[in-house]
């Protein structure tokens, strides 16, 4: 994966929220530096310190039952994105994006196939994305 390409693709949609971030911070750092990142979200509290050190807003939240904070941040965004989330999270990510009237971008693992209604496969430079536009 090329974080610069992913950040460039996501930033074209406007302000972004990263969901299910895990410990990977490269794309969020690039979007934050460009002024395009609203916040990052993950269920794991231990991840917070990595993003806080970078000056990035972080919300601890379960994507299956989104908290009010993440809903508020997503409503301020144009796009929600997730990098290599497990397929079992895709429906919840898409539902949150739809409820907040955001474009949803998922950068899948190499061989993950999308079975969520409304997503289209898109290619950008050397990356692939599943995208659902509202």
Strands (E) across the chain are located at 16-18, 37-42, 58-60, 79-83, 103-107, 120-124, 127-132
Token pair 């395009």: residue: 36
Residues 67 and 61: beta-carbon distance below 8 Å: yes
CATH no. for 3-132 = 3.40.50.150
- Cα separation, 55 vs 100, whole angstroms: 24
User: pLDDT digits over 17-39, tens only?
Assistant: 999 988 888 999 999 999 998 89
Task: Write down the pTM of the prediction.
Answer: 0.91
pLDDT of residue 14: 95
What are the boundaries of each domain within the chain? 3-132
């Amino acid at each position: 994966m090329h974080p610069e390409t992913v950040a460039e693709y996501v930033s074209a949609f406007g302000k972004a929220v990263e969901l299910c971030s895990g410990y990977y911070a490269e794309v969020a750092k690039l979007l934050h530096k460009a002024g395009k990142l609203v916040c990052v979200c993950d269920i794991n509290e231990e991840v917070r310190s990595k993003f806080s050190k970078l000056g990035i807003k972080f919300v601890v939240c379960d994507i299956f039952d989104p908290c009010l904070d993440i809903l508020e941040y997503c409503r301020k965004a144009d796009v929600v994105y997730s990098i290599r989330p497990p397929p079992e999270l895709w429906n919840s990510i898409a539902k949150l994006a739809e409820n907040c009237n955001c474009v949803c971008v998922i950068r899948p693992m190499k061989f993950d196939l999308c079975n969520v209604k409304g997503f289209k496969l898109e290619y950008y430079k050397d990356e692939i994305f599943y995208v659902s536009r509202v």
